[in-house]
Structure 1
Amino acid sequence: MRALFILFVTTIAFFSCKEEKRKPVSMKEDVTILADDTFNGRRTGTEGERKAADYIIKRFKDIGLQPKGYKGHFTQTFSFRASNDPHKEAEFTSKSDSTTTGTNVIGYIDNQAETTVIIGAHYDHLGMGGEGSLYREGKAIHNGADDNASGVAVMLKLADSLITSAPANNQNNYLFIAFSGEEEGLLGSNYFVKNPTIDTKKVSYMINMDMVGRLNEKNTLAVHGVGTSPVFKQVLFANNDENLNIVEHESGVGPSDHTSFYLADIPVLHFFTGQHEDYHKPGDDAEKLNYEGMRKILNYIFAIISDLNDNGQLTFTKTKNESEVVPDFKVTLGVVPDYLFDGEGMRIDGVSEDRPAQKAGLQKGDIVKRMGEHDISDMMSYMKSLSKFEKGETAIVTVERDGKLIEANVTF
């Protein structure tokens, strides 16, 4: 894979050249480069992430985007003290020896329109593992092909499609952001919302793509934020020419960068193909992605953008429960939720080693129905319930397994 990286970088990514026609870069090529070992897992603030940012900048230039970071550049840097809780405010600060510097990469299509659409995906990942990794066998490169080179690749192709389809879709401007610091707690998106490089009062809506590379055989695609604007449900239904099995989630709050924009009263749509056995592990590599599935998702999102071209600034709606304060967690169950599950409860898609769920005997596929005295009907009720427990506390957790209810004593 390293040889492919060197060849591709040599021919496309890092050499300056005169204006010329370039062969279109496929989503597979973008993922293969970003998920190469050379970048050492793209952890925020590392040399590998900075090299990945350079690659994205070069792609933005080749596509024809304008820089929209700081001082006429494609970049927006921010310094912070590390935090791994996405539900707490990040501690941004001036750069010093005790801080880490992340880099958002920002490009723009200026159609001289009154409103702007933001299209984003995070490009950072977990580096060599450590905090956030589900791998327990020592240090290893976490390439993050699905998480989230897949989202970046679709974002780049959307940018290219919106450029080449001109003058269609010209009633909005388009801002493309490759976010840094997502794995550290949505830091890049949080920082941008607080320090925008455009007037966010004129943003119509935001699209986020995080893990869109593993569309399953049933073509199941989770779309979050459907309730954040009244027009979204009809638009999602009307443009499903790829026959995707859409699992709708009303909430504008979730563990990805769209949350930062929702909390700033901007309508959001977040696209996601689900967890898998390589999630946050070294096995999340480029050859395992479903590139035909990514093409379907690309076409679907492009059709949505085209449909909304003449809608002006969309109306923002607070979604159920999320108008309240986002829960503050003191404990973890140690599971990976199944975000494609649309039944009652919270289905477990993975169990972390040596964490409360595993110690209590909970398994992948279990559907959590009750935690202590709290009924679990969906993801938000699970999050709210989890926020009620203290470290060291023991509670009875009821799960459905093979159609039967099972109780387990869980110590957090």
Structure 2
Amino acid sequence: MKKIALIVIFISFLGCKKDYKPENRLKDDVAFLADDKLEGRKTGSKGEKEAAAYIVKRFEEIGLKGKGTNNFYQTFTFKPKTDPHGEVSFTENSQDSTITGTNVLAYIDNQAENTIIIGAHYDHLGYGGEGSLYKGEKAIHNGADDNASGVAVMLNLAGKLKETNTSNNYLFMAFSGEEMGLLGSNYFAKNPTINSKAVSYMINMDMVGRLNQDSTLAVYGTGTSQVFKDVLAAKNTNFKLVEEESGVGPSDHTSFYLIDIPVLHFFTGQHEDYHKPGDDADKLNYKGMETISAYIYDLITDLDDNGKLAFTKTKNDSQELPRFKVGLGVIPDYLYDGQGMRIDGISKDKAAEKAGLQKGDIVVKLGDSTIIDMMSYMRALSAFEAGDSTKVTIIRAGKELKAGLKF
């Protein structure tokens, strides 16, 4: 009888292993990373180190192994740039003028030929400073959406992939230094801890915590491999997708595109709390984050037996952006795909506010230029200098309105 009982227990144990279900800790992960105690997770700060230790603990709980240069950690030391148009220089020696950031890397080794990289940056702006859009008194910038949301979804995916889709290995990366210029991902791309030639593709999540009511999800890098557009469409049952082919953009996927790795970057859009102290955990759409995680998992599952994806070079839109000397003082709605440029936020005491423009207004003409999209808006803006006056035409609640503004 004892032997039979042991066999039954053993069979039950195997059944439990087969029915493995990862925990959903999205809300807990964001709550920790976006807590005031971490003081905004600025690169090189005590809060950044506490965040890194928490991510390591979560990787260990899921059952992943470290894949940095020192177990889970990969540190990088750099001198902050003094010229805003210059490049940061990495250094091997830590000095008074240098900062040391920390990437956190974990690995699922399925003994496969190829590896998929899944990443999200975990650093933010600390108490503000350069990069902050807040004009008030010194305050902690918690960065719940930017980018505790992406880290939480990455950890959620790690749990889901622990025992599934075993045709590839998985490298999970929490980058630091993103807010200072994609430093952590750039350092890894130059100092990889795996064979980067065997990376099939890279998935990046940056600001995925505020899925809006019409479920608009931006996906960048769709042209970096020929299979991406088809699989994105085939697996989409929940989102209004806004696709951008270019592999170059203002987040860590760019570092991998530049070493010829196909990339997909997911983003739910900017908002009025972007780079401000108001980006807090209670404002996130956690159901939306679950839906995004499930979608990315379905994409990975569909591509599981595709082998190493072929890389396709895309047109670099950022090289064609016009330079401008003035700003309207608005946050554009980057997820808007209609005619014109829709305003998602208004900055205080800037030209747009003084002209009476409001969130939700759609700019369709600036001066003599018709605005059909973001690029035409920027081209129109580049024609003005400080002190110039002009007319702006907007659509508000279906009606066309005109206003005068001065830059």
In the superposition, relative to structure 1, how do residues 330 and 193 fare at CA in structure 2: closer, same or farther (>3 Å)? farther
5+ unaligned residues in a row in structure 1: which ranges? 1-20
- Structure 1 residues 79 and 114, CA gap change in structure 2 (3 angstroms): same
Q: Does 1:260 align with 2:255?
A: yes
In structure 2, what is the Cα distance between the partners aligned to 1:111 and 1:238? Answer: 26
Q: Is the 8 A contact 1:193 1:261 kept in 2?
A: yes
Amino acid at match of 2:224: T
Larger Rg: 2
- Provide the residue aligned with 1:30 in structure 2: 29
Q: What is the CA-CA distance between 1:251 and the residue it aligns to?
A: 2.6
Aligned counterpart for 1:198 among listed residues 174, 194, 218:
194
Instruction: Please tell me the residue identity of whatever aligns with 2:131.
Output: G
Alignment partner of 1:223 is 2:219: yes
| Counterpart position of 1:401 | 395
Measured at CA, do residues 132 and 265 of structure 1 come closer, stay the same or move farther in structure 2, by a change above 3 Å?
Answer: same
Aligned to 2:336: 341
Q: How far, CA to CA, are the matches of 2:309 and 2:149 in structure 1?
A: 27
Per-residue deviation, 1:340: 1.3
Matched with 1:92 is 90
Matched residue SS, 1:274: coil
Residue correspondence of structure 1 range 152-231 to structure 2 within 5 A: 152-165=151-164, 169-231=165-227
Separation in 2, partners of 1:372, 1:78: 47
Amino acid at match of 1:280: H
In 2, the alpha carbon distance for the partners of 1:316 and 1:120 equals: 19
Mapping for residues 61-140 of structure 1, pairs under 5 Å: 61-82=60-81, 89-93=87-91, 94-140=93-139
**Contact 1:83 1:184 survives alignment (8 Å):** no
1:198–1:117: structure 2 CA closer, same or farther, 3 Å change rule? same
Bigger mean CA offset, 53-62 vs 330-339:
330-339
Take 1:379 and 1:132, find their aligned partners in 2: how far apart are those partners? 22
What one-letter code is carried by the residue in structure 2 that aligns with 1:90?
Answer: V
Deviations along 1:249-270, one digit per CA (max 9) or x if unpaired, are 2232222222222233322111
User: Which letter maps to 2:359?
Assistant: K
Distance 2:110 2:376 in 1: 42
TM-score with structure 1 length normalisation? 0.83
Given residue 265 of structure 1, which amino acid in structure 2 is its aligned partner? D
In 2, the alpha carbon distance for the partners of 1:195 and 1:373 equals 50
2:21, 2:160 within 8 Å by CA — same for their partners in 1?
Answer: no
1:84–1:185 CA contact under 8 A, matched in 2: no
- Offset of residue 90 of structure 1: 3.0
Report the CA distance between 1:42 and its aligned residue.
0.8
Q: Which amino acid counterpart does residue 210 of structure 1 have in structure 2?
A: D
CA distance in 1, matches of 2:149, 2:190: 26
Q: Tell me by how many angstroms 1:298 deviates.
A: 0.8
Shift in CA distance, 187/380, structure 1 to aligned 2, threshold 3 Å: farther
The aligned residue for residue 13 of structure 1 is: none
Give the one of 217, 240, 247 matched to 2:242: 247
Structure 1 position 215, deviation (Å): 1.6
Matches within 5 A, 1:366-405: 366-369=361-364, 377-380=372-375, 392=386, 394=388, 396=390, 398-402=392-396, 403-404=399-400
Q: Indicate the percent of aligned positions where both proteins have the same amino acid.
A: 63
- Residue 27 of structure 2 aligns to a residue in which SS? helix
Q: Equivalent residue for 2:300? A: 305
Does 2:281 correspond to 1:295? no
How many residues of Structure 1 are paired with residues of Structure 2 in the alignment? 385
**Residues 410 and 118 (structure 1), Cα distance of their counterparts in 2 relative to 1, 3 Å cut:** farther
Q: CA deviation at 1:315?
A: 2.2
Instruction: Report the Cα distance in structure 2 between the residues aligned to 1:202 and 1:383, rounded to whole angstroms.
Output: 39
Mapped to 2, the partners of 1:266 and 1:304 lie a distance apart of 17
TM-score computed with the length of structure 2 as normaliser:
0.84
SS in 2 for 1:221: strand
Contact 2:78 2:98 in 1 (8 A): yes
Deviations 1:145-185 (A, max 9, x none): 111111100000101111033xxx12222111111111222
Correspondence for 1:282 among 269, 273, 277: 277
Instruction: List alignment gaps of at least 5 residues for structure 2.
Output: 1-19
